[in-house]
Amino acid sequence: MRYLATMTIYSLGDAAVVMDLGNSIDQSLNQQVNAMKVWVRDHPFDGLRDAVSAYSSLTLHYDPLVVQQHYQPKQTISSWVQSYLTKVYDESLTMETDKEETVVIPVCYEEEFSPDLATVAETTGLTTEDVIEIHLAGLYHIYMIGFLPGFPYMGKLDPRIAVPRKSSPRMVTAGSVAITGLQTGIYPIGSPGGWQIIGSTPVRLFDPGAEIPALLRPGQKVKFSRIEKNDYVNFDH
């Protein structure tokens, strides 16, 4: 067994527990979290409601009554689920993980799609073209989906274009490609948002009518490719 000094397990109320591998944005920890989630999906316990992966943590939501009835834990139900999580961690260490494919997302960075590009350039002391080139150069890891249905939290962004979020959120349109700190993300649906918008994708990231509504999932890689306005407008869904 290879335990991490930074690892913690704790309850999240009386119907969820968390295993956190290190409270940080770190690709290898995130891959470990995803491996754990795969193991949980393959070996669920009775009463498991959902397994939620975030940057460095896996949260299991459970129905306490079902766990109680099926496993009759000697101590609390919560501590039973916590020991299950310890086992998940051990098992996931020896797992072969599938290599996740890279998804290419076309982005139009032209002015009408990038309301904050000039501000980002100004803040960072770069030209707008530099900002675009640096954003395009990255291969981004999807740490988690959250905030909005289908919203990917991706990183790490090149520190040269790291900027704080806007002081107050405003309405953001679906498809907006945004950055803040060392992260980049895409708004799948229109929503109030505080990240800096530097482009827009015509790709539909979230389609509630589809069998799998979200295009992206945690663990995948994303590469952006630049398109012109004409390609954006005529994009074939």
Partner 1 sequence: MSISIIKPGILDTIQDSGRPGYADWGINPGGPMDTYAATLANLLAGSEKNAAVVEVHFPAPQILFRKQSLIALTGGDFQPTLNDIPLPLCQPVVVKENTILHFPSYRSGARCYLAIEGGFATDKWLGSRTTNLNAGATGLTGRKLAKNDELSCGPGKKLSANLRAETDAAILPWRADTANCYNNVHEISCVPGNEWGLLDWESKKCWEETNFIIHPSSDRMGYQLKNEPLKMSNKFQMVSTGVSFGTIQLLPNGQLVVLMADHQTTGGYPRIAHVVSAHLPKLAQLRPSDCIKFGMVKMEEAEKLYQSQIHDLNLLQESCMTRLNEYLCR
Q: Which residues bind partner 1 (CB under 8 A)?
A: 8, 10-16, 18, 20, 23-25, 37, 49-59, 61, 64-65, 68, 76-79, 144-151, 153, 188-189, 191, 206, 208-209, 212-214, 217-218
Nearer to partner 1, 41 or 225 (CB): 41
Nearer to partner 1, 4 or 118 (CB): 4
CB of 194 to partner 1, least distance (A): 13
CB of 229 to partner 1, least distance (A): 25
- CA proximity to 7, closest of 66, 74, 88, 101: 88
Nearer to partner 1, 62 or 232 (CB): 62
- CA proximity to 27, closest of 183, 191, 186: 183
Tell me the torsion sign for CA atoms 61, 64, 69, 75: positive
- Compute the C-alpha angle 99/218/108, nearest 5°: 100
**Secondary element (H or E) of residue 186:** strand 183-186
- CA proximity to 56, closest of 138, 151, 153: 153
CB of 141 to partner 1, least distance (A): 14
Nearer to partner 1, 65 or 118 (CB): 65
Beta bridge partners of 53: 58
Nearer to partner 1, 32 or 78 (CB): 78
CB of 236 to partner 1, least distance (A): 21
- CA proximity to 231, closest of 107, 96, 59: 107
d(CA 168, CA 196): 11
Nearer to partner 1, 84 or 109 (CB): 84
Residues contacting residue 98 through CB under 8 Å, at least 6 positions apart: none
CB of 125 to partner 1, least distance (A): 26
Residue 92 in tokens: 């996931």
Residue 3 CA, distance from chain mean position: 24
CB of 226 to partner 1, least distance (A): 26
